Amino acid sequence: MDILQTILALIVTLGILVTIHEYGHFWVARRCGVRVLRFSVGFGKPLFSRYDRHGTEFAVAAIPLGGYVKMLDEREGPVPDEQLHEAFTRKSPGQRIAIASAGPIANFLFAIVAYWLLSVVGFTSVAPVVGQVTPDSVAERMGLSSGTEIVAIDGRSVSDWRDVGGRLLERAGEQGAVMVTVEEGGQRRTLTTDLKGWRLEGRQPDPIGRFGIEPYRPDIPPVLGRIVDGSPAQASGLQQGDRVKAVDGEPVGDWFDLVDRIQAAPGETLTMTIQRNGHETILSVTPEPVEGEAGQTIGRVGAGVAPIEWPEGSLRHNQFGPLESIPRALGETWSDTRMILVAVKKMVTGLLSPENLSGPITIARVAEATVSSGFQDFIGFLAYLSISLGILNLMPVPVLDGGHILFYSIEAIRRKPVSEQAQAIGVRIGLALILTIMVFALYNDLMRL
C-alpha cells in the first residue's frame, strides 16, 4: 500500500509539472502561428484523447514520466504546401527560441504563483534554534551553542531552517571564513571560523547536519494520538492520550524509542505498561507485520503520536496580503534558483559530491511525504521541483530546450541553420550525457534505500 501511495504521488507530481511545462510550449507555439498536432502528458500509447477545434489532439499516455508537444515540422515528414506557413521550421529563429524557452519559463511562473499562494494563505515555519552541536564539527569550532537562534549567515538574514540550509550549501567546499550571527536572550553576536574546505560528503544532501547542527525539536513523549480503526492498537484496548511507560518491563524513553521497539517486533506479543488518567494498567498488543521502506518486515500497531507542544516563539505563522506576497514570491523563486545553480556549479567543479544528485525514487519518496504532511509542504515541494525542471531544461545540452535555444541562437547570428550533421552529433552527445546523469542519479537513489 505504501509503495502504491508513493507511485501515485510521483505520477501526480510529475503530471502537474509536465503539464505546466508543455503548456508553455503549446501556448507560445499557437501564438507564433505554429500548428500543434498533439499535446501529450506521458509517453507511449494514449489511454484517452480528444481533439479541439484547431485539430490538436490532447492525450494522456500510458508512461507518466514526461510529456511532449508535437508540432507541424518538415523534418518529420512532408508538409502540404497550404500548411507550410504553419510549420515550426518555417518560423524565424526568434520565434523558435521563444517557443523553446516557453516551457522552462512556465515552470518559473508556476513557482512564483505557488509561493504567492502560500504567502496569501499563510504558512508555518520553525525558528532556526540550535538543538545540539556535533563534536569536532565546524559548528563546534565556531562556538555555536544549544539554544541560540541563527539570524544571519555571512550577513544575509535567515528566518527558518530552509534559509539556513541554502546559505550553508552555498559555502560548501569553499575556503575562507564563514560568519554566523546568533541571538540569545535578546542579544546578538557574530561567530566566525575558517571553513577549511568543508564539504558535503555522502548521498544525503544535509548541509545543516554536516555543518554540525542538530535543529532544536521539543521532546516527543510516548503519548498516543489517533488510533486507527480495526488496528492492533484498537483491538488491544489502547486509547488516545495513553502514555506508554514500559514495553515488556523495559522503560520507554520517548516516542522514537517506542516506535523502534514496535517495528522490531512484527507478529510478537508485547506487554505495555500504560498510564491513563493517573493510573497504570497493562495491555498486550501484537504488531502486524508490514513492509518497510527498504523492503524489510517491520511491526505496526496503528497508533499515531499526540500533537507536539512547541515552546512559545518556536513556530511562526506567516501570512501576507496579495500585493505584499508578490515580492516575497519573487524572492523565494530567486532564492531557490540561486541555490540550485550554486549546487550544480559545485558539482561540476568538484566542490560538492555528485552523490547528492537525486533521481526519480527520491522524488517519489519526498512527494509522498509532502502529500502526507499537508498542503503547505506539497505546494512548496512542487514549486522547488518546478524551478529545478526549468533550470535543467535551460541547460545548453542538445535534446533539452536549452540545446535547441543554442542552435537557434547560432542560426540567428550566422543567418543560416546549424548543419544537420552538427546537430545530429550534438544530439548524440546530449543523449549520452543525460542518460549518464539519469543512471547515476538512480544509482544514488538505490544506495540511499
Same domain, 129 and 118: no
| The domain boundary residue, chosen from 248, 275, 305 | 305
Dist CA 363 CA 360 (whole Å):
5
Q: Do 238 and 190 share a structural domain?
A: no
Q: Can you give the pLDDT at residue 1?
A: 46
Of 24, 31, 215, 201, nearest to 113 (Cα)? 24
pLDDT given at position 202? 62
Report CA-CA distances (Å) from 162 to 165, 183, 235, 326. 5, 18, 41, 20
Q: For residues 283 and 238, is the Cβ–Cβ distance under 8 A? A: yes
Which pLDDT does position 367 carry in this prediction?
74
Range of the domain at 432: 106-122+319-449
Please state the pTM of the whole predicted model. Answer: 0.81
Would you call 76 a catalytic residue per the annotation?
A: no
Same domain for 298 and 343: no
Residue 293: per-residue pLDDT: 62
Residues 419 and 390 in one domain: yes
Confirm whether 89 is domain-assigned.
Answer: no
Residue 33 belongs to some domain of the structure: no
Residues 117 and 146 in one domain: no
- Active-site option among 22, 86, 332, 368: 22
Q: How many domains does the chain have?
A: 3
Q: Please indicate, yes or no, if residue 22 is contained in any of the structural domains.
A: no
- CATH number at 234 reads 2.30.42.10
Is 84 within the bounds of a domain?
Answer: no
Say if strands 303-305 and 149-153 run parallel, antiparallel, or are unpaired. unpaired
Domain boundary among 255, 278, 305: 305
Residue keyed to cell 559545485: 346
Query: Low-confidence residues of the chain, pLDDT below 50?
Result: 1
Same-domain check for residues 111 and 166: no
Work out the number of other CB atoms within 10 angstroms of the CB of residue 331: 12
Domain annotation covers residue 353: yes
Is the residue at 93 inside a domain?
A: no
3 part of a folded domain: no
365 and 265, same domain (yes or no): no
Do 264 and 323 belong to one domain?
A: no
pLDDT tens figures, 263-319: 998 999 999 999 998 889 999 999 998 876 656 788 999 998 888 888 877 888 888
Asked if 246 and 355 sit in the same domain, the reply is no
Residues 161 and 261 in one domain: no
Same domain, 209 and 234: no
> Residue 362 falls within a domain, yes or no?
yes
Whole-angstrom distance, CA of residue 130 vs CA of residue 136: 16
Q: Which amino acid appears at position 207 of this protein?
A: P
Boundary of a domain, candidates 265, 290, 317: 317
Q: State how far the Cα of 152 lies from the Cα of 182, in Å rounded to an integer.
A: 7
Verify that 325 and 411 share a domain, yes or no.
yes
